[in-house]
Amino acid sequence: MTEQLDIPAYWEIYPQSIRLSLSYFEQRIPLSVRGSGLNPQFISSNPAVAYVDDEGFLVSGLQIGNAMIMAWSSDARQSLRHLNVEVRDPSWFANHPDFLLDLGTSVHLVGSVVDALNARPLAGVLVTIRRSEEGPIVAQQITDASGQYEMELFEGLYVYEASTPNYIDAHGLLNVLESGSSGQNIVLSPELNGQVARIVLQWGLNPRDLDSHLRGPRPGGGTFHVYYSTDYVQDCGELDVDDTSSYGPETITMHRLVAGTYRYSVHDYTNRNSSTSTGLAGSGATVKVFYYDGREYTFNVPNQPGTVWNVFEINGTTGAITALNQMEFESNPGSVGI
Ligand SMILES: [Ca+2]
């Protein structure tokens, strides 16, 4: 007498392993059941992460995690098949070696975050790096007690976001190069608390000393000129930092807007006595304006000779900001911006 072994017919479910990205919509993935006359049953170890619906679609994507889905084709649950599902945050794919293209040299980047008002290091700031504004997170770090963050990034252009309570979120470009990166030193401006604007000047190694100048109408009549030698004018504005050793930031806070024209200028104090200098043009200077209505403006120094860069004007009645971006020569700090 021969015993009959009940050998299950060949069948499989494909794919057997699925790794997908977290999404804000449900992902429905068709499964292929190979074999004849089958109507498999499915059970998921973690239905919040993934399950198979009545129509045989894998449903997943709304929650990060792993799920093992068991499938069988008989009531006795013999001859099981398994489907492994992993749902990952998009950043996991952005960083995983399997998903990276050859992006060139890896750079160890050290950056810093400082307070625009006193240039002191800011600890506990969350720095987030992406390839594009809406792209997945490539790297994320919190600044240490000395306001520094460190990360490994491939050479290339990134966008950063830096945030911490009571400060305006900072956004900007980060250019990572083995020969020397730029944009990694981030300046955060405290929230405005009723002030009109904060104007933050940053630049490169040279010239050593650029100066911020703001002119405008006084509320009671007449005009004011805030710069390093008059760093506070009540109800008008104040210069918080006079940086004389490269990079900045130098920050002017505007207190009020009254009828009249305000003008903000940058003076190349180092080269003030030159009538041919291109030092300011080559300084990499940028001016960021954080405005009371939430708007932000960024101005980049024109590539023209000059020791004064007249950056923008504000119409005190309408609040409108108009770019000037004019370069001229001026040796006397007291005459800048006239
Ligand atoms: Ca200065």
Confidence class of residue 266 from pLDDT cuts 50, 70 and 90? very high
Average of per-residue pLDDT across 23-40: 85
pLDDT 10s digits, 118-158: 889 999 999 999 988 888 889 999 999 999 999 999 988 99
Q: For domain 12-88, give the CATH number.
A: 2.60.40.1080
Gap between the Cα atoms of 298 and 284, Å rounded: 13
Predicted pLDDT of residue 8: 60
Q: Is the pLDDT of residue 104 over 90?
A: no
Compute the distance from residue 209 Cα to the ligand 1 centre, in Å.
5
Predicted pLDDT of residue 5: 59
Average of per-residue pLDDT across 211-222: 96
CA-based nearest residue to 236, from 190, 288, 192, 195: 195
pLDDT 10s digits, 144-193: 999 999 999 998 899 999 999 999 999 999 999 999 898 899 999 999 98
Gap between the Cα atoms of 205 and 245, Å rounded: 8
Compute the distance from residue 173 Cα to the ligand 1 centre, in Å.
24
Predicted pLDDT of residue 223: 97
Compute the distance from residue 245 Cα to the ligand 1 centre, in Å.
8
What's the chain's average pLDDT? 91
Confidence class of residue 101 from pLDDT cuts 50, 70 and 90? low
User: Which residues are CB-neighbours of 223 under 8 A, at least 6 positions away?
Assistant: 215, 216, 217, 260
Compute the distance from residue 244 Cα to the ligand 1 centre, in Å.
5
Confidence class of residue 4 from pLDDT cuts 50, 70 and 90? low
What is the secondary structure of 87-100 as a DSSP string? EE-HHHHHH-GGG-
Q: Is the pLDDT of residue 1 over 60?
A: no
Q: β-strands 223-226, 210-217: how paired?
A: antiparallel
% of the chain at pLDDT higher than 90: 72
Confidence class of residue 77 from pLDDT cuts 50, 70 and 90? confident
Compute the distance from residue 238 Cα to the ligand 1 centre, in Å.
14
Compute the distance from residue 71 Cα to the ligand 1 centre, in Å.
71
Compute the distance from residue 312 Cα to the ligand 1 centre, in Å.
19
Compute the distance from residue 78 Cα to the ligand 1 centre, in Å.
79
More confident residue, 32 or 52: 52
Domain positions in the chain: 12-88, 91-191, 192-338
Compute the distance from residue 246 Cα to the ligand 1 centre, in Å.
8
Predicted pLDDT of residue 3: 59
Common-topology check for domains 12-88 and 91-191: yes
Compute the distance from residue 285 Cα to the ligand 1 centre, in Å.
12
Compute the distance from residue 242 Cα to the ligand 1 centre, in Å.
4
User: Which residues are CB-neighbours of 75 under 8 A, at least 6 positions away?
Assistant: none
Predicted pLDDT of residue 6: 61
Confidence class of residue 105 from pLDDT cuts 50, 70 and 90? confident
pLDDT 10s digits, 285-310: 999 999 998 899 999 999 999 999 99
Give phi and psi for 129, each to the nearest 5: -115, 130
Gap between the Cα atoms of 320 and 318, Å rounded: 5
Compute the distance from residue 219 Cα to the ligand 1 centre, in Å.
27
CATH top-level class for 91-191? mainly beta
Compute the distance from residue 130 Cα to the ligand 1 centre, in Å.
32
